[in-house]
């Protein structure tokens, strides 16, 4: 069952703070994936890795799952970058 994804205001700001539009799109895709396959837990921190040209971007998305209301609310978006070494 699909859940409706939404962003809390703080999480929306955190997503916008990601400098790369590709990373912002990556977050949206990850959230949509969670909405299509909602976790059974009411709260979850999902982690994703995106490889860029210059390194790896680790994205942590905190979500609250409302099973009764069929929605997933993104409560926070955090980002860590690890550059590639030669």
Domain ranges of the chain: 4-83
Taking the complete model, does pTM exceed 0.75, yes or no?
yes
Superfamily name with CATH number, domain 4-83: RelE-like (3.30.2310.20)
Whether 63 has a pLDDT exceeding 90, the answer reads yes
Please state, in angstroms and rounded to a whole number, the distance separating the CA atoms of residues 72 and 28: 12
1 pLDDT above the threshold of 70: no
Edge to edge, what strands does the sheet with 55-66 contain?
Answer: 4-7, 71-83, 55-66, 43-51
The token pair at 21 is 């539009």
Give the chain's mean pLDDT: 92
């Amino acid at each position: 069952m699909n859940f409706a994804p939404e962003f809390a205001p703080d999480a929306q700001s955190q997503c916008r703070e990601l400098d790369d539009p590709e990373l912002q799109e990556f977050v949206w895709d990850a959230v949509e994936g969670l909405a299509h396959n909602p976790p059974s837990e009411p709260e979850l921190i999902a982690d994703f890795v995106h490889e860029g040209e210059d390194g790896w971007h680790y994205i942590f998305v905190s979500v609250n799952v409302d099973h009764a209301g069929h929605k997933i609310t993104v409560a926070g978006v955090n980002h860590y970058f690890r550059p590639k070494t030669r």
